[in-house]
A and B are shown apart, each in its own frame.
Chain A
Amino acid sequence: MNQMPALLSIITFTPLIGVILLLFMNKNNHSVLRGLAMVVTLITFLASLPLVTGFQSNAEFQFVEMVPWIAAGPFQMNYHVGIDGISLWLVILTTFIMPIAVLSTWTAVEEKVKEYMICLLLLEVGMLGAFISIDLFLFYIFWEVMLIPMYFIIGIWGGKRKVYAAVKFFIYTMVGSLLMLVALIYLYFKAGGGDFNLLNFYQLSLDPATQTWLFLAFALAFAIKVPMFPLHTWLPDAHTEAPTAGSVILAAILLKMGTYGFVRFAMPLFPDATAKFTPLIATLAVIGIIYAALVAMVQEDVKKLVAYSSVAHLGFVMLGVFALNQQGVAGGMLQMLNHGVSTGALFLIVGFIYERRHTRLITDFGGLSKQMPVFATIFMVVTLSSIGLPGTNGFVGEFLVLLGAFEGGLRWYAVIATSGVILSAVYMLWMFQRVMFGELNNPKNQTLKDLNAREIAIMAPLLVLIFFMGVYPTPFLNKMSPAIDRMIQLSTTKYAARLQQQVPAGLQQMAPMVTTPPAMEMK
């Protein structure tokens, strides 16, 4: 094992060091502030690369660190972090997106640059922490910590209705996560104390009624974050009002918290409830796909359109994850990354034109291709990635999701969801056409400048990833597949075992064939 010790902590807290440094910087020296933030995020990204190389393709948590943290009364919380195949790529995605986000606001944010960068870096700490936590309490802490900087990012640097959007975002998310906290504590007592180690909770065998409630509480928190229909309405508002980097991070990483939560917590912890609620969630996911697509179709604001497309994409993820087979979950996970890359890129693109024109209304544009050919090309590629064109990343994930869902128990859901493929093409291309094609009528658009070097530099890595993940997703899939196997096993084994108890002997073969999980001792 050539795994560096404390690497995860280094990655997670490097941005915090950045925050501290920023606190002591002169707030008027914008370029230094930006540069520092850039350097810090870049260092974080570089530091996270050894995670990929050092990661062994097995189901275990790796790079594990454990330090006792809180021990009081009945509680034992640890600083217990580690990554497995499921979180590995999300961590990388986070560290990868952050420099881009910082770079994207180089000129967009001129006010309170210092605070802005602090918020961004704090946000990174929160996100990374949430992805690497094995201790549930720690997870919750980071989960909440993310909320604050995002709230400020939307609220301070946002658009006209920023306050409404920020508060809505905050309280919406807060309601869900607090209920999750209740469930978390309840679960802890159910487990009979000890610590908040996720692996211990995995071994619990809860009765179905309890599972139902706990699952609902967890699922609510995650579903709000995802966001799933009908809990999605905060998202278009938040996205529309947030500054570019905020939208990018929100779409690329924050939303993943929800789906990640399902995969990491809600499903493996509560297998019976998962089985019970799969039809409901799949229905909501499918409704989300179609619904968001239809709504996106008629949007007048580019950003809102992209926001709704996010809802649709995340619907795919949810569908795949709840298919509970290798293809579905892997597809869902991959789709999470894809969505991070391509929707992040879309928001960047919207940011570019917003910076130039200070409007996002589709009708204000038209014919930009002529004036901005490079932009047009990039926009095209990203659009295509977003609608899941083969060869781009979007396709692989979407395909695996649908395949998994089809192959698993969600056949008809998959059929309906597949029609979302048509709708996504409709709304994305229609938007693209109205923005980029047609005559360059609006005189304000006739003097637009094409992308500059910085902007191209922002987009280049994303474009590379779009194609790389589309053409060669194997490394991603390989690293995550053992962890996914384990997750599936956890989410189905206990349920299957219970089924077998209930089902008469003759029908036992009907239950899915699963093996018992490797013995993990309770602490």
Chain B
Amino acid sequence: METLVMPAINFAAIMPETILSIVAMVLLLLNVFVPGEQKAYLGYLSLVGIVVAFFSVVSGWNAPLSLQEGFNGSVLQDNFSLFFKAIFLISSGLAVLISDHYMVKEECNHGELYPLILFATAGMMLMSSGTDMMTIFLGLEVLSVSLYVLAGFKRADTKSNEAGLKYFLLGAFSTGFLLYGMALTYGATGTTKIAGIAAAAAQDGTLSANPMFVVGMLLMATGFSFKVAAAPFHMWTPDVYEGAPTPMTAFMSAGPKAAGFAAFIRVLMVAMPVLAVDWSSLLWVLAVLTMTVGNVIALTQNNIKRMLAYSSIAHAGYCLVGFAAGNGEGTAGILFYMLSYAFMNIGAFAIIILVGKKGEPNNNVEDYAGFSVKHPVLAMVMALFLFSLAGIPPTAGFIGKFYLFSSALKAGYIWLVIIGVLNSAASCYYYLRVMVFMYMKDPVEEFDWMKLSPPVLLCIAISVVGVVVPGVVPSIILQLAQKAILL
């Protein structure tokens, strides 16, 4: 019997996760000593952690394979995952920036918020870099469990409770399917490693016709579809987004969705290229359903948070279009899109947070009547985010959509793209509706309660840059994304 051989513990491969976890634990300890009204400092500290982690992400870019791999093939911090990690860090950073203002206003600024965000981020990172189904699964669970808590973070608020509980029940339920899928895949290939699955499939030509393998793939796909909120696994999204504290909604719509895509892409594209025909046709259908359901239902939404929730479903649909294409451009498109989506969506939520009044969330579209009169700059910025969400140049949203759709066109999915653009056109309606109220209606409210909190403004400013710059000069980021693709 061989002795225990410890694997090469390559901390370089999990450096960002490590940093975040350590900072989170430090914050947990500090939390005891920081009085209630000064929890913001924890936020700043966590920002420091995020920035440091970001640097480690940057330094890991294009690192040699030896530095990327670690833990016996459990994790691989390649460019792909690094790009995603950057997205996670940006979304969590932005979410941290907008949290304190909101939490203080809502009187629930518990210090645990920031560690939880950081843990969630670490979980996302593990999802994106995990090359073992176990790593991916556990990363996903770290993320999910944190998010259940974050969604229900406003303990005293029934809606928040409800959001947390719904998210929890459905999340756990979907975990069942995901796990079953993993089990079947394991059964069909005899391994839980991504690379191993791919190798097994490559070796055994019959595997692609083996129902156990196919169904395993399908069940895993449904599990990930739940995470990225693809129809018909999207049902939790609107309720949870609406009920969760707004900063967390912003966070959830950007980071975890990207994480879902990261794992989704890695599993399907790296482990199961032999099933490409199957999954891309599945994704075709999912994409159409998701875009259509998201956009159509968003048309009649009055609550702006809920509207953005449906819109986020639709955006997942756009990403699925690129995913269905199954080519490098599609992946690069998703990378780019998730990045820009983080900026534009969190930016929009930041403004929603500013507009919200204690007790009255002011989340209805009507509450924005005349916003432009009182706050022209903020209204303009909100319009910018909405235009970006609608995919109108020269914003990042347009470039991203362009890239996604063109990848699908390259793969020959013309009808998919046509459905996509028609959806995109329909989506203009509800984005414009917000602008109609901001710009074209007379003010009802005075908006005098609005406190322009500097961190929130900073978040908005960063988001503006993140929306405009990639929209005007997308080259650099697109090239990075192109280098980060898996194939």
Contact = CB atoms under 8 A, between A and B. Distances in A.
Interface of A: 27, 69-75, 112, 115, 140-141, 144-145, 147-148, 151-152, 155-156, 162-163, 166-167, 170-171, 174-175, 178-179, 181-182, 185-186, 188-189
A27 B377 CA distance: 12
A115 B436 contact: no
Contact of A72 (B410, B421, B475): B475
Given A72-B479, A166-B440, A171-B425, A144 B392 contact: yes
Nearest to B429: A171
B422 A175 contact: yes
Given A71-B475, A171-B428, A182-B418, 18 more contacts: A72-B332, A72-B478, A73-B329, A74-B410, A141-B398, A144-B393, A151-B432, A155-B440, A163-B436, A166-B436, A166-B440, A167-B436, A171-B425, A174-B428, A179-B418, A179-B421, A181-B402, A186-B409
A174 B481 CA distance: 28
B409 A185 contact: yes
Interface string B450-487: 00000000000000000000000111001101100000
A185 B432 contact: no
B376 interface: yes
Interface in B406-447: 406, 409-410, 414, 417-418, 421-422, 424-426, 428-429, 432-433, 435-436, 439-440
Contacts of A189: 406, 409-410
Contact of A182 (B403, B414, B428, B433): B414
Contacts of B425: 171, 174-175, 178
Given A148-B392, A171-B429, A185-B405, A73 B422 contact: no
Nearest to B418: A182
Contacts of A27: 376
A170 B432 contact: yes
Contacts of B196: none
Contacts, number: 103
A81 to B, nearest CB: 15
A144 to B, nearest CB: 5
A170 B424 CA distance: 12
A309 to B, nearest CB: 28
A370 to B, nearest CB: 39
B344 to A, nearest CB: 15
Given A70-B475, A73-B478, A144-B398, A181 B440 contact: no
Interface in B328-369: 328-329, 332
B428 A170 contact: yes
Q: Name, among A145, A162, A181, the residue most crowded by chain B CB atoms within 10 Å (CB to CB).
A: A181
Contact of A73 (B373, B433, B482): B482
Contacts of B432: 151, 166-167, 170-171
A70 B478 contact: yes
Interface in B33-58: none
Interface string B243-266: 000000000000000000000000
Contacts of A115: 372, 376
B171 interface: no
Contacts of A156: 439-440
Contacts of A162: 440
B73 interface: no
Contacts of B376: 27, 115
A152 B393 contact: no
A8 B429 CA distance: 35
B80 interface: no
B421 A181 contact: yes
B394 interface: yes
Contact of B393 (A145, A155, A188): A145
A186 B481 CA distance: 22
13 contacts: A69-B473, A140-B393, A144-B392, A145-B394, A147-B392, A163-B440, A171-B432, A175-B425, A178-B422, A179-B418, A179-B421, A182-B421, A189-B409
B387 interface: yes
A431 to B, nearest CB: 30
A70 B428 contact: no
Given A69-B475, A167-B436, A185 B387 contact: no
B475 to A, nearest CB: 5
Closest CB pairs A-B (n = 5)? A72-B478, A178-B421, A185-B406, A141-B393, A175-B425
Interface string B134-170: 0000000000000000000000000000000000000
A122 to B, nearest CB: 11
Contacts of B482: 72-73
Contacts of A148: 387, 392
Contacts of B405: 181-182, 185
Nearest to A151: B432
A155 B441 CA distance: 9
Contacts of B429: 167, 171
A72 B392 CA distance: 20
Q: Name, among A69, A73, A181, the residue most crowded by chain B CB atoms within 10 Å (CB to CB).
A: A73
A186 B329 contact: no
B475 A73 contact: no
A74 B406 CA distance: 10
A257 to B, nearest CB: 15
Q: Name, among B410, B424, B429, the residue most crowded by chain A CB atoms within 10 Å (CB to CB).
A: B410
A181 B409 CA distance: 11
Given A163-B436, A167-B429, A186-B409, A74 B421 contact: no
B400 to A, nearest CB: 12
A140 B406 CA distance: 14
Contacts of A151: 432
B434 to A, nearest CB: 12
Nearest to B336: A72
Contacts of B439: 152, 155-156
Contacts of B372: 112, 115
A115 B478 CA distance: 33
A144 B402 CA distance: 13
B436 A178 contact: no
Nearest to B436: A163
A188 B432 CA distance: 30
Q: Name, among B328, B432, B473, B482, the residue most crowded by chain A CB atoms within 10 Å (CB to CB).
A: B432
B417 A182 contact: yes
Nearest to A118: B380
Q: Name, among B328, B373, B425, the residue most crowded by chain A CB atoms within 10 Å (CB to CB).
A: B425
A189 B414 CA distance: 12
A495 to B, nearest CB: 24
Contacts of A72: 332, 474-475, 478-479, 481-482
Contacts of A186: 409, 414
A178 B424 contact: yes
Contacts of A73: 328-329, 332, 403, 478, 482
Nearest to A111: B373
Nearest to A74: B329
A156 to B, nearest CB: 5
A140 B405 CA distance: 15
A160 to B, nearest CB: 12
B124 to A, nearest CB: 25
A323 B455 CA distance: 62
A167 B427 CA distance: 12
Contacts of A170: 428, 432
Nearest to A193: B410
Contacts of A166: 432, 436, 440
A75 B406 contact: yes
B472 to A, nearest CB: 9
Contacts of B409: 182, 185-186, 189
Q: Name, among A72, A178, A181, the residue most crowded by chain B CB atoms within 10 Å (CB to CB).
A: A72
A151 B438 CA distance: 13
Contacts of A182: 405, 409, 414, 417-418, 421
Contacts of A70: 399, 473-475, 478
Contacts of B394: 141, 145
A167 B428 CA distance: 9
Contacts of B387: 148
